[in-house]
Amino acid sequence: MIGTVALLVLLATVTGSIVYGRRKARAQTVEEWAIGGRRLGVLIFWFINAGEIYTTFAVLGISGFAWAYGAPAYLAFTSVSLASVIAYWLMPRVWEAGRRHGLVTQADFFARSYRAEWLGVIIALAGLFATVVYVEVQLTALSLVLQLTVGAAIGKTVSVVLAATIMLAFVFLAGLRSAAFAAGVKDVLMILLVVALSATAAHHVGASSILDIFRRADALRPGIGSFPGADPAAGLGVTWFVTSALNVAASTWFFPHMFQLSYAASGPRALRQNAIWQPLYSLSYFFIILLGLAVLVGQTVPAGGNPNAALLQFVAERYPPWLVGLMAGTASLLALVPGSVLLMTSGSIFARNIVQPLIGEQTPGRALLISRLSMIGFAAIAVYLTLGASESIVKVGLSAYASIGMLAPGAVLALIWRRAQAVGVLAGLVVGYIALLYPAAVAMCHRLLPGWEPGLAALILNLATVMLVSWGIGLARPSGRIVAAA
Amino acid sequence: MDNEAGGTPIRWHRLALLSPFVWQLGFAGIANNIVWRPFGLPFQMVWQMAGILVASAAIAWVFLRDEALDHGDNVGQP
């Protein structure tokens, strides 16, 4: 029963999205396939944005975080609102540059803004690295859903490989417009499901009302509703919250797929209107956190104490099979839609910003083929990472944000500071990645800035380096960079 | 006030876009120490949810002001 319902949800959505995508697509080019021909209006853009924001990171990750820590899950409430403020200012400028110069990828933006193709290649590699880590998050979740549906007996390896295969199949059959359709379906399903689960959770855990769940959670783990949450030793206090929220807000739009989304809108007005409405959707995190606390109150313990599986385990234990199947199907879409967009983005970056500079311009059809084939390689790397990972989805996700945040200084300065230099951006990346990845630097950051999200410290160092190096070059070469400030 | 690029008015109203940061992050420490539980919910949780409404309202207000300026109304006002 569980498998049948889940499969029905999945097949119906995928078939509908492919039909929708084929009817809407006008040409099989990378531009049409990857950025929807720059024609997405407010409504479809809102849905595809929501599809990118409300992923397994948000639903399985945040509910698991609420179950394990409590208040630190409030990070979700800041992730969309603060990022939308930045989007209001940033995205129309990126869109304008994209339209004016025919840009498709984020690396195109850097290469064009700094007139340095080599910088485009480096940005492409950095973007691919963070994108693959984010695909890992989606594969982790999709494999958990598969284990729930088919049975834990299939094991992690088979479920992760199967998850990657399903994701690739969807990508090969679909394009960005198909993903937008699937995003719309999964968002409607998710809202209905989460509201239904929340409305009945109190009954299932022996609480008298939704609000009683919060009271009981606080009685079980005193202080869970405020920082640092249920586990003070985890270091998730107010400083962690503020610095992590700033880092997520500053980094969100620099994931290559999110940056690329800016190009896909029909114009700056659609982007600005989207920024108004997008935060409101994140109020639904209330229900996600509620469900995480319901898992706690209901004393459900996921296998191996894995927080990522907390919500799925709770639903599997306490709800009828048809609803578990619906949950499994919807959760699959939660991973499948953003995962497919991430793979599409990595394919287009690889074809345009790594292969093209090396072997020259390709015909549109050949570029599309290279793009699609390269995705198999990226999916394989993501499978490898997923098999070796055991961390919370939220923690893996935050490391992806920290990594991609390294591209923010170079992108923002390209828009506002005409003296920013490609060499300065490279120096900033080197310093930022050392601060983020070199163990001695990370230890120093923890010592000097206790409680800070390391990604924010690395981002500030990166920014200071870009400005200092560019300023120094400017002194030596007073003409400075003359860019078509995007 | 004009910027040096050529007479485009500086859009001071866009400073309102900082308000969600002040609300959700600037006051997070204070909100954390308030023990009152509106509707039985942790105060910090309610504060952060209210911050989402502040963000949408701030962006909407800035959007309306920008639209007015883009359509030629009030050009030149700070």
The answer to whether B55 faces chain A, any CB pair under 8 Å, is: yes
Residue B48 has pLDDT above 90, yes or no: yes
Q: pLDDT grade, residue B5 (50/70/90)?
A: very low
Confidence band of B78 (pLDDT split at 50, 70, 90):
very low
How many helices (H) and strands (E) chain B has is answered by 3, 0
Q: Does any CB of chain A come closer than 8 Å to the CB of residue B11?
A: no
In order of A271, A405, A451, the CA distances from A290 in angstroms are 31, 30, 26
Q: What is the DSSP letter of B1?
A: -
Q: B56, A289: Cβ pair inside 8 Å?
A: no
Instruction: Tell me whether the omega of the peptide bond preceding residue A478 falls within 30 degrees of 0, making it cis.
Output: no
CB pair distance less than 8 Å for A246 and B25 = yes
Alpha-helical segments (H) within A282-363: 285-297, 310-318, 321-349, 356-359
Q: Confirm if A59 and A290 have CB atoms less than 8 A apart.
A: no
Residues of B in contact with A238 (CB under 8 A): 28-29, 32
Instruction: For A374-427, write each residue's pLDDT tens digit.
Output: 999 999 999 998 887 767 788 888 888 999 999 999 999 999 998 999 999 999
Q: Do A85 and B17 touch (CB under 8 A)?
A: yes
Are the Cβ atoms of B41 and A242 closer than 8 angstroms?
Answer: no
Our CA-based measurement puts residue A136 at a distance from the nearest CA of chain B, in whole angstroms, of 29
Model pLDDT, residue A363? 81
Whether residue B74 has pLDDT greater than 80: no
User: What local confidence, expressed as pLDDT, does residue A281 receive?
Assistant: 85
Query: Which pLDDT tens digits describe chain A residue by residue (486 residues)?
Result: 777 777 787 777 777 777 776 666 554 555 665 666 676 777 777 777 776 666 777 888 899 999 999 999 999 999 999 999 999 999 999 999 999 998 888 999 999 999 999 999 999 999 998 889 889 888 888 888 888 777 767 788 888 898 899 888 888 876 666 777 787 888 888 888 988 999 999 999 999 999 999 999 999 999 999 999 999 999 999 999 999 999 999 999 999 988 888 888 888 998 999 999 989 989 989 999 999 999 999 999 988 888 988 999 999 999 999 998 888 888 888 888 888 888 888 988 898 899 988 888 778 788 888 888 899 999 999 999 888 776 778 888 888 899 999 999 999 999 999 899 999 999 999 999 999 989 999 999 999 999 999 999 999 999 999 999 999 998 887 665 545 445
What are the residue boundaries of the structural domains of chain B, listed by start? 12-69
Contacts of A215 in chain B (CB under 8 A): 40
Partners of residue B59 in chain A, C-beta under 8 Å: 84-85, 88, 272, 275-276, 279
pLDDT of residue B16: 96
Using a CB-CB cut-off of 8 Å, the residues of chain B touching A212 are 40
pLDDT at residue B14 greater than cutoff 80: yes
Written as six digits, the tokens of A300 are 């459900």
Predicted pLDDT at A371: 86
CA distances from A144 to A6, A261, A270, A339 (A): 13, 28, 36, 15
> Residues of A at the B interface (Cβ-Cβ below 8 Å)?
71, 74, 77-78, 80-82, 84-85, 88-89, 211-212, 214-215, 218, 225-227, 238, 241-242, 245-246, 272-273, 275-277, 279-280, 282-283, 286, 289
User: Which residue of chain B comes nearest to A283, CA vs CA?
Assistant: B49
Spatial separation of the C-alpha atoms in residues A155 and A141, rounded to whole Å:
14
Which residues in B lie closer than 8 A to residue A272 (C-beta atoms)? 59, 63, 66
- Cβ contact A82–B42 (<8 Å): no
Which amino acid is present at A280? L
- Which residues lie below 8 Å from residue A242, measured CB to CB, with a gap of 6+? B25, B28
**Residues A77, B58: C-beta atoms closer than 8 Å:** no
Among the partner residues A77, A85, A276, nearest to B48 by beta-carbon distance: A77
Q: Which of A401, A398, A394, A314 is nearest to A56 (CA)?
A: A394
The size of the A-B interface in CB pairs under 8 A is 100
CB A142 within 8 A of CB A309: no
Q: At B4, is the pLDDT very low, low, confident or very high (cuts 50, 70, 90)?
A: very low
- What pLDDT does residue A480 have? 57
Nearest to A216 by CA among A299, A286, A139, A147: A299
Closest C-alpha among A186, A187, A185, A214 to residue A281:
A187
Minimal Cα distance from B16: which residue of A? A85
Q: Which of residues 16-45 of B touch A (CB under 8 A)?
A: 17, 20-21, 24-25, 28-29, 32, 37, 39-45
**CA–CA distance, A71 with A64 (Å, rounded to integer):** 12
Q: Specify the pLDDT at position A52.
A: 66
Closest CA to A347 of A386, A378, A388: A378
ipTM reported for the complex surpasses 0.85: yes
Q: What are phi and psi of B2, to 5 degrees?
A: -105, 150
Q: How far is A344 from A356, CA to CA, in rounded Å?
A: 17
Write b or e for each residue in A354-376: b if 16 or more Cβ atoms lie within 10 A of its Cβ, otherwise e: bbbbeeeebeeeebbebbbebbe
Whether A409 and A428 have beta carbons less than 8 Å apart is answered as yes
Q: What is the pTM of this model?
A: 0.88
> Is the alpha carbon torsion for B33, B35, B41, B47 positive or negative?
negative
Least confident of A237-251, B36-50, B59-73: B59-73
Angle in degrees, CA A105, A110, A115, rounded to 5: 125
The whole-angstrom distance between B16's CA and the closest CA on chain A is 10
Q: Looking at chain A, how many residues does it have?
A: 486
CA A220 to chain centre: 32
Enter the DSSP assignment of B41: S
> Residue A115: which residues within 8 A CB-CB, separation 6 or more?
A422, A481, A483
pLDDT above 90 covers a percentage of chain A that reads 49
Q: Least CB-CB distance to B40: which of A77, A84, A215?
A: A215
Are residues A82 and B20, on separate chains, in Cβ contact within 8 Å? yes
- Nearest chain A residue to B28 by CA: give it: A238
For residue A85, which of A285, A275, A263 has the smallest C-alpha distance? A275
Judged by CB atoms closer than 8 Å, whether chains meet at A77 and B49 is answered as yes
The residue written with tokens 């876009």 in the block is B17
- The residue in chain B having the minimum alpha-carbon distance to the alpha carbon of residue A224 is B42
Dist CA B7 CA B12 (whole Å): 15
